[in-house]
Structure 1
Amino acid sequence: MSPPIEEILADYDWQPELVERISYRDVATPIKIHPPNPAWPQIFLGIRNRIIAALGETALSVNHVGSTSVPGLSAKDIIDIDLVVQDSTDESAYVKALESAGFNFLLRERHWHEHRFFYTSAPQAINLHVWGPDCAEVARHQIFRQRLLGHPGDLAMYAECKDVAARETREDGGDMNEYTARKTEVIKKILRNAFVQLGYISGNEGY
């Protein structure tokens, strides 16, 4: 069962006051874009096996997302992963197991698809997102990735955007939130292209 289209089309409204902070990253995340690394998919598979070994059947799906999942795309050297569990609000089903596997529980976002976020910096930096079934944000991640895989123009546009955003953020002494904000308009443009292609909106509709 897929999430409703209107949920997939809905933008995330960042509301930091609603984020429940559990802990903090042990090291600062460098805002540095690396050339495409053909080893990233293989690194993901090792992490996937680690997650499945920790959670067993609790892990309904473990998917590689983000820039390191797209061959030929430059990226920060961080593996982004979407983990889907039966109920992300049932933290007893997965938090201790993930912590035992080396992931640090950083934050809880009840207002945003009951998102939970984990991170580890060594030996490989990993952003681990935990969601429940039929989550619109998981669908958006896959739609964005598939658009980049199939459309070189959008891929090139996003690669340039990332380079510029990283450089400007470093020059301004900004943080990861500012880097992400600088990419927002290009991300929305690429998603709009994907939504038109999928028939979710017409070519005349704004997004």
Structure 2
Amino acid sequence: MPERVEIVPYDAAWPAHFREIAARLKTLLGDRVLDIQHIGSTSIPGMAAKPLIDIDVIMPAAADVIDACPLMEAAGYEPRGNRYDADIFAFMKRTPTRRQRVYLCPEGHATHHRRIQFRDYLRTHPQAAAEYQALKLKLAEAFEYDGDGYTAAKAAFVNDVVARARKR
């Protein structure tokens, strides 16, 4: 059965959850980790979001990403493949108190850079953040059990924000 697209009010505990997860990932993956970034709506203060912490883990090269995949699986992360871009592998972990989606990314990857541009723009442009939140709430209703449709329906807005961010 498809999972429900659920948007919940902002939780002030999300940044702390990210820090806890990031520390565990750093221990798990070791020196291959160059950076760990909180991405997605839970990384934007005040933003309603899916109750899911999204994380990009930056590694030196695509080979490091591939080498890290078995470590993620052994630690209980469900492999989700590279659905969005070559060289980026996604993993999901569900616990009783929180869910997390981790993307292993090679350094310099354009997708990671776009995610950071989007996040940072919304953090510094409250009107754009409010528009995005309203869109997410509307789309969560329209695509209640269609996560891929929900994500696809946000693409034009996301692309527009990234384009604005690049002009800054």
TM-score (norm 1): 0.75
Are residues 130 and 92 of structure 1, via their aligned partners in 2, closer, same or farther at CA, if it must alter by over 3 Å?
closer
Higher radius of gyration, 1 or 2: 1
Paired residue for 1:23? none
Shift of 1:59: 1.3
**Structure 1: which 4+ aligned runs deviate by more than 3 Å?**
89-92
| Sequence identity percentage | 28
Tell me the SS of whatever aligns to 1:180.
Answer: helix
The equivalent position to 1:61 in structure 2, one of 21, 26, 35, is 35
Deviations 1:22-60 (A, max 9, x none): xxxxx8543010001000000011101110111110111
Tell me the SS of whatever aligns to 2:107.
Answer: coil
Deviations 1:61-91 (A, max 9, x none): 1110000001000000000000111223345
Tell me the SS of whatever aligns to 1:127.
Answer: strand
**Aligned-partner Cα distance in 2 for 1:180–1:105:** 19
The equivalent position to 2:93 in structure 1, one of 103, 116, 120, is 120
The equivalent position to 2:26 in structure 1, one of 52, 57, 73, is 52
Deviations 1:142-168 (A, max 9, x none): 111110011111011100000011011
**Residue 164 in structure 1 maps to residue 135 in structure 2:** no
Which has the larger helix fraction?
2
Paired residue for 1:150? 124
The aligned runs of 1:38-117 (5 Å cut-off) are 38-90=12-64, 93-108=67-82, 112-117=85-90
TM-score (norm 2): 0.91
Q: Is the 8 A contact 2:65 2:88 kept in 1?
A: no
Q: Is the 8 A contact 1:50 1:101 kept in 2?
A: no
Q: Is the 8 A contact 1:36 1:73 kept in 2?
A: yes
Q: Is the 8 A contact 1:83 1:129 kept in 2?
A: yes
**Aligned-partner Cα distance in 1 for 2:3–2:19:** 22
Paired residue for 2:112? 138
Matched residue type, 1:63: Q
Paired residue for 1:184? 155
**Aligned-partner Cα distance in 2 for 1:108–1:149:** 27
Paired residue for 1:7? none
Q: Is the 8 A contact 2:61 2:106 kept in 1?
A: yes
Which deviates more, 160-169 or 85-94? 85-94
Q: Is the 8 A contact 1:61 1:85 kept in 2?
A: yes
Instruction: Please list every run of 5 or more consecutive structure 2 residues that lacks an aligned counterpart in the other structure.
Output: none
Paired residue for 1:35? 9
Instruction: Please list every run of 5 or more consecutive structure 1 residues that lacks an aligned counterpart in the other structure.
Output: 1-26, 198-207
RMSD: 1.8
